[in-house]
Structure 1
C-alpha cells in the first residue's frame, strides 16, 4: 500500500494532537492529590501507551511524507 502526502500529514497531525493532549493530561494529573494509587497507575499506563502510539504514528507519517517527496522528485 502506498501512502500519499495527505495520509502522511494526517498521521503526523494525529501524533501531534496525541502528544499535546496527553502532555496537558500529565500536567493535570500531577496537580491532583488524594486519589488512590490505582488511579495514578491506571492513568500513567494510559499516558505511556498513548504517547507510544503517537510516536509510532509520527514515525509512519514522517516516513510516508519522506517517501512521497522522493517519489515526486523522481517523476
Structure 2
C-alpha cells in the first residue's frame, strides 16, 4: 500500500492529538483524590495503550512522509 503525503500528515496529526489529549488526561488524573484503586488502574491502562497507539501512528506517519518526500515530485507522464 502506498500512502501519499496527505495520508502521512493525517496520521501525524492524529498522533499529536492523542498525545496532547492524553497528557492533559494524565494531569487531570493526577489531580483527582478519593477514588478507588481500580479507577486509577483502568485509566492508567487507557493512557498507556493510547500513547502506544499515538507512537505507532506517528511512526507510520513519519515514515510515509519521508517516503513520499523521497519520491520525485516532478513525475510527469510525457505520453
- Residue number in structure 2 paired with 1:30: 30
Query: When the two structures are superposed, what TM-score results if normalisation uses the length of structure 2?
Result: 0.91
Q: Where in structure 1 are there 5+ consecutive unaligned residues? A: none
Q: Where in structure 2 are there 5+ consecutive unaligned residues? A: none
Q: Name the Cα RMSD after superposition.
A: 1.2
* Runs of 4+ residues deviating >4 angstroms: none
1:12-51 → structure 2 map (5 Å cutoff): 12-51=12-51
Alpha-carbon displacement from aligned partner over 1:39-62 (angstroms, at most 9, x marks no partner): 000000000000000000000000
Larger proportion of helix: 1
Matches of 1:26 and 1:14, distance apart in 2: 18
Query: When the two structures are superposed, what TM-score results if normalisation uses the length of structure 1?
Result: 0.96
Q: Which has the larger radius of gyration?
A: 2
